[in-house]
């Protein structure tokens, strides 16, 4: 016997339909199927009544049932074994057609609970048929079942499934906060540790951004050839390397070495390395590339190379990437190198990302700026998810030259 079965309701439903088969005509109100009857005997009795009515019988009798079953030996044998005629006579005598809706709905509720239970969903918090000890809880659950509609009951269970999906599939966002939740602790923390991140390179940028703060995503936009890659390489080295060359003071200490990742999509490793050496040594990159140094530049470049070797700065070269590729690279470097700062050079479309977005959008073609916006949002999500800082850049199109209100 299945777990969630209310036999009195099933008996009432069959007895009422036997007495008044016209109830089966209200198909927009009542939907009775084999799933409502876990017991084979109940299936046979109801199924026979249903078929006879479907064949045109306006009144169901024990003789018409016997005639129908006589050509179905297997069902007839079970009907006789279970004393079907006696059972059906008693059921029809006790049937309360005026209460049919109540018994129908209770039967359907048990069908619903049984279906969820058979699919591994625990619904004992709604109704626990095995509870024979806690009588107060049992009565409370019985009243709850009776007073909750079938749709309401289904929605309660669906809400449980949606809650699990939200936690483990859609992302763990939790419940809404009251606006002042934890506000005293936050103020106390700010008093001890003001919200200031590791300095970026240059005096003005830190006034605007308060440094490279964890869980923050900064996005720069500039025209082609302005130096987006170089400025990000400067920031990456400024964070990861504890010594840089200053034109006025020579080699100076530059704070702590913070594990940093630089993701390049267009340059090869060698191109990134020469830009890093140029920044750390304050030597024109052309002198490095041409091996034509002036004064002590060669020694400074060699020392810059030693600083790079000793610094926790890592480079990933990803020429053709998808959203998932970028997340995987970041996760890998968090796991392998404990990176806290990431620079992604730079946001643009690629063949893989176009394929990925088109697939997710069900084949709908999206504008390039929409795709870049989606990539930016994903990078911001990664900041929150992994507690890291990410900076990237976008390239302006030609209309910026004529724009009266740049934004």
**28 in any annotated domain:** yes
Whichever domain contains 215, its CATH number is 3.40.50.300
- Residue 64 — pLDDT band, cuts 50, 70, 90? very high
> For 262-270, what is the mean pLDDT?
86
Residues 111 and 252 in one domain: no
Whichever domain contains 130, its CATH number is 1.10.860.10
**179 in any annotated domain:** no
Residues 290 and 356 in one domain: yes
Residues 59 and 157 in one domain: yes
CB 227 within 8 A of CB 262: no
**196 in any annotated domain:** no
Alpha-carbon distances, residue 241 vs 19, 257, 335 (angstroms): 89, 5, 21
Residues 353 and 265 in one domain: yes
Residues 333 and 389 in one domain: yes
Residues 239 and 333 in one domain: yes
- Quote the radius of gyration of the chain (alpha carbons, Å): 36
Please give the Cα distance from 153 to 133 (Å, whole number): 24
**Cα angle at 393 between 392 and 394, to 5 degrees?**
140
Residues 228 and 137 in one domain: no
Instruction: Give 42-51 pLDDT, tens digit per residue.
Output: 999 999 999 9
Spatial CA neighbour of 222 closest among 232, 212, 211: 232
**193 in any annotated domain:** no
Give long-range contacts, CB 8 A cutoff, 24+ apart: 40-43: 40/78, 41/78, 41/79, 41/82, 41/84, 42/10, 42/14
Give long-range contacts, CB 8 A cutoff, 24+ apart: 146-155: 146/102, 146/106, 148/109, 149/105, 150/105, 150/108, 150/109, 150/112, 153/109, 153/112, 153/113, 153/126, 154/112
Instruction: Give 350-400 pLDDT, tens digit per residue.
Output: 666 666 666 666 666 667 677 778 778 888 888 888 889 998 888 776 665
Q: Could you list the residue range(s) of the whole structural domain that residue 262 is in?
A: 203-402
**342 in any annotated domain:** yes
* pLDDT at residue 370 in the model: 73
**209 in any annotated domain:** yes
Q: Is the pTM of this model over 0.75?
A: no
Residues 248 and 351 in one domain: yes
- Residue 173 — pLDDT band, cuts 50, 70, 90? very low
**300 in any annotated domain:** yes
* pLDDT at residue 227 in the model: 73
Please give the tally of structural domains in the chain: 2
Residue 316: which region, alpha, beta or left (left: phi > 0; alpha: psi -120 to 50)?
beta
Residues 374 and 322 in one domain: yes
Residues 158 and 253 in one domain: no
**184 in any annotated domain:** no
Share of the chain above pLDDT 70, in %: 84
* pLDDT at residue 168 in the model: 66
Residues 287 and 224 in one domain: yes
Alpha-carbon distances, residue 371 vs 174, 247, 328 (angstroms): 28, 42, 19
Instruction: Give 195-230 pLDDT, tens digit per residue.
Output: 676 767 766 676 666 777 888 888 887 777 677 888
Asked if residue 309 has pLDDT above 60, the reply is yes
Structure token pair of residue 403: 């724009």
Residues 164 and 207 in one domain: no
Alpha-carbon distances, residue 406 vs 223, 389, 402 (angstroms): 12, 26, 9
Please give the Cα distance from 206 to 148 (Å, whole number): 59
**Cα angle at 195 between 194 and 199, to 5 degrees?**
105
């Amino acid at each position: 016997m299945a777990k969630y079965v209310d036999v009195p309701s099933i008996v009432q439903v069959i007895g009422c339909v036997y007495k008044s088969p016209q109830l089966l005509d209200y198909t927009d109100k009542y939907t009775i199927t084999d799933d409502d009857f876990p017991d084979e005997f109940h299936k046979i009795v109801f199924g026979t009544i249903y078929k006879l009515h479907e064949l045109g019988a306006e009144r169901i009798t024990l003789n018409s049932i016997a005639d129908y079953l006589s050509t179905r030996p297997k069902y007839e044998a079970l009907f006789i074994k279970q004393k079907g005629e006696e059972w059906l006579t008693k059921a029809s005598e006790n049937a309360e057609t005026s209460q049919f809706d109540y018994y129908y709905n209770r039967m359907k509720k048990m069908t619903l609970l049984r279906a969820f239970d058979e699919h591994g969903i625990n619904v004992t918090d709604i109704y626990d048929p095995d509870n024979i000890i806690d009588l107060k809880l049992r009565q409370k659950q019985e009243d709850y079942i009776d007073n909750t509609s079938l749709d309401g009951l289904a929605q309660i269970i669906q809400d449980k499934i949606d809650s699990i999906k939200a936690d483990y599939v859609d992302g763990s966002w939790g419940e809404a906060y009251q606006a002042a939740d934890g506000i005293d602790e936050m103020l106390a923390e700010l008093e001890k540790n003001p919200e200031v991140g590791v300095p970026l390179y240059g005096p003005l940028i830190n006034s605007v951004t308060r440094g490279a703060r964890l869980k923050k995503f900064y996005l720069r936009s500039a025209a082609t050839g302005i130096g987006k890659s170089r400025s990000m390489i400067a920031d990456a080295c400024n964070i990861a390397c504890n010594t840089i060359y200053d034109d006025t003071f020579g080699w100076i200490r530059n704070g702590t070495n913070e594990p940093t990742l630089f993701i390049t999509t267009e340059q090869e490793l060698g191109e990134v390395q020469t830009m890093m050496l140029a920044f750390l040594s304050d030597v024109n990159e052309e002198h490095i590339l041409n091996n034509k140094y002036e004064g002590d530049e060669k020694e400074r470049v060699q020392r810059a190379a030693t600083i790079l070797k000793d610094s926790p700065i890592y480079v990933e070269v990803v020429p053709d990437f998808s959203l998932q590729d970028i997340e995987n690279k970041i996760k890998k470097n968090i796991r392998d190198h404990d990176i806290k700062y990431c620079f992604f050079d730079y946001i643009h479309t690629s063949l893989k990302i176009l394929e990925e977005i088109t697939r997710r959008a069900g084949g709908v073609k999206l504008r390039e700026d929409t795709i870049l916006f989606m990539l930016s949002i994903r990078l911001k999500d990664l900041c929150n998810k992994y507690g890291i800082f990410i900076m990237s850049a976008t390239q302006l199109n030609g209309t910026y030259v004529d724009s009266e209100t740049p934004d």
